[in-house]
């Protein structure tokens, strides 16, 4: 089926975003720990199915570690330090499920797919195009970042603890200047190539991606409703 209209068997970014919005309540209110845990597992499942298992494992394990650490510390005598760690941990770990879904979106949505999906939603190009470029640009910035870090290591100005503490601003300067110059150059070349191939504001684009909802989208939207209820009312 290569080259034909692409039907991906994974949820579309629209339903992923909906799911993310639905579970945002986890950050706000008092949610039962069991529900949060179920959410973490579900997000982990999504990552396993549509992204990488290692990523899923990483986050689920982190959550479990934090949860266990808190409850262990609660059993011990109440020193201020322990209390502090418990509070911080219990706050931070609630961000994990949302972060996981965010990871899913960023890792599995391609710029072209995003543009096509947003066009379906009739989202104006002024928003969808820059965001598509963000999606396109993140991996490039990541590559550049690694490269710059290597270069810094070779020059002895690397991101070691000592360097960051001793001259924080200069270290930041060392990172930002090459990153900016490189990104601008890439950005210019990227724009020129896109414009030369007809990217513009005038016409509606079509897409080779088939962005109709598939079974995964319906399941995901159902899950979104379920979790929304669980989070808000239970």
Per CB under 8 A, contacts with other proteins among 120-159 are 125-127, 129-141, 143-145, 147-148, 150-157
How many whole angstroms separate alpha carbon 154 and alpha carbon 71? Answer: 44
How many whole angstroms separate alpha carbon 69 and alpha carbon 185? Answer: 47
Q: Residue count at the site for other proteins (CB under 8 A)?
A: 106
Structure tokens at 120: 């379906």
| Shortest distance (Å) from residue 14 CB to other proteins | 13
| Shortest distance (Å) from residue 189 CB to other proteins | 4
Window 28 to 67, contacts with other proteins (CB under 8 A): 28-30
For residue 186, give every residue at least 6 positions away whose Cβ sits within 8 Å of its Cβ, in sequence order, or none: 140, 144
Q: Is 68 in the site for other proteins (CB under 8 A)?
A: no
Which of 141/221 has CB closer to other proteins?
A: 141
| Shortest distance (Å) from residue 71 CB to other proteins | 9
Window 155 to 214, contacts with other proteins (CB under 8 A): 155-157, 164, 172-187, 189-210
How many whole angstroms separate alpha carbon 28 and alpha carbon 8? Answer: 34
| Shortest distance (Å) from residue 184 CB to other proteins | 6
For 176, other C-beta atoms within 10 Å of its C-beta total 11
Residue 209 phi, psi dihedral angles, 5° rounding: -80, 135
């Amino acid at each position: 089926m290569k080259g034909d209209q692409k039907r991906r068997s994974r949820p579309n970014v629209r339903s992923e975003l909906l799911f993310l919005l639905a579970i945002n309540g986890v950050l706000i209110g008092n949610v039962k720990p069991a529900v949060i845990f179920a959410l973490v597992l579900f997000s982990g499942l999504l990552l396993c199915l549509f992204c990488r298992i290692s990523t899923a494992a990483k986050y689920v394990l982190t959550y479990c570690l934090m949860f266990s650490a808190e409850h262990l510390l609660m059993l011990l005598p109440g020193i201020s330090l322990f209390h502090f760690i418990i509070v911080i941990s219990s706050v931070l770990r609630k961000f994990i499920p949302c972060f996981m879904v965010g990871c899913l979106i960023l890792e599995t949505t391609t710029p072209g797919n995003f543009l096509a999906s947003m066009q379906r939603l009739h989202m104006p190009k002024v928003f969808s195009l820059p965001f598509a470029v963000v999606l396109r640009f993140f991996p490039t910035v990541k590559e550049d970042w690694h490269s710059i870090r290597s270069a810094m290591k070779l020059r002895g100005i690397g991101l070691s603890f000592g360097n960051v503490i001793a001259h924080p601003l200069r270290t930041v300067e060392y990172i930002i200047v090459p990153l900016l110059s490189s990104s601008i150059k890439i950005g210019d070349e990227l724009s020129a190539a896109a414009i030369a191939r007809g990217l513009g504001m005038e016409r509606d684009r079509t897409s080779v991606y088939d962005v109709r909802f598939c079974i995964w989208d319906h399941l995901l939207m159902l899950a979104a409703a379920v979790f929304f209820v669980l989070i808000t009312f239970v």
